[in-house]
Amino acid sequence: MKRRFLSIFLASVMVMGLAVGCGSSGTESTDSGSESSDESSSDGKSISLLLTYSEEKTELYQCIDDFTAETGIEVEVQYMPLEDSRRQISTMVASNSLPDVMDVDNTDTQNYVEMGILADLTDRVESEIETDQYYEGVLESQQVDGKYYGLPFTANNLCLYYNQDLLTQAGVTEVPTTWDELLAACEQLKAIGVYGFGVAGNQSTDTTFQMWPFIWGAGADETSIDSDATVEMLEFYQTLVDNGYMSTEVVNYASGDNANQFTAGNTAMIIDGPWRLSSIQSDASFEYGVAAIPVKEEGAEQITVLGGHNFAITDGDNVDASWEFVKYMNQPEVMQKYSEAENYIPSRRDVCENSEYFKSDDLSTFVSAMEYAKPMPKKDYNSISDILIQMWQKVVLNQAEPADAAKEAGEAINALE
Query: What's the pLDDT tens digit per position in 374-392?
Result: 999 989 999 999 999 999 9
Whether residue 290 contacts residue 259, with contact meaning beta carbons closer than 8 Å, is answered with: no
d(C-alpha 326, C-alpha 82), whole Å: 19
Same domain, 145 and 170: no
User: What is the pLDDT at residue 21?
Assistant: 31
Helix axes 402-414, 228-242, angle to 10 degrees: 130
pLDDT band at residue 43, thresholds of 50, 70 and 90?
low
User: What is the pLDDT at residue 308?
Assistant: 92
Same domain, 139 and 273: no
Query: Does residue 372 sit in helix, strand or coil?
Result: coil
Closest among 111, 145, 152 to 130, alpha carbons compared: 152
pLDDT band at residue 415, thresholds of 50, 70 and 90?
very high
User: What is the pLDDT at residue 323?
Assistant: 98
- Domain assignment present for residue 140? The answer is yes
Same domain, 238 and 125: no
Whether residue 52 contacts residue 82, with contact meaning beta carbons closer than 8 Å, is answered with: yes
User: What is the pLDDT at residue 83?
Assistant: 86
Tell me what the pLDDT averaged over the chain comes to. Answer: 90
User: What is the pLDDT at residue 417?
Assistant: 74
Given a cut of 80, is residue 33 above it in pLDDT? Answer: no
- Domain assignment present for residue 298? The answer is no
Query: Does residue 373 sit in helix, strand or coil?
Result: strand
- Domain assignment present for residue 297? The answer is no
Same domain, 261 and 369: no
Percent of the chain with pLDDT over 90: 84
Average pLDDT over residues 162-173: 98
User: What is the pLDDT at residue 27?
Assistant: 33
Instruction: Tally the residues of the chain.
Output: 417
Please state the domain count of the chain.
2
User: What is the pLDDT at residue 44?
Assistant: 58
Which structural domain range is residue 357 located in? 4-156+307-375
Given a cut of 70, is residue 3 above it in pLDDT? Answer: no
Same domain, 365 and 389: no
- Domain assignment present for residue 301? The answer is no
Alpha carbons within 13 angstroms on the beta-carbon side of residue 92 total 25
Same domain, 227 and 356: no
Same domain, 52 and 90: yes
For the entire predicted model, the pTM comes to: 0.88
The CATH number of the domain holding residue 405 is: 3.40.190.10
Same domain, 200 and 277: yes
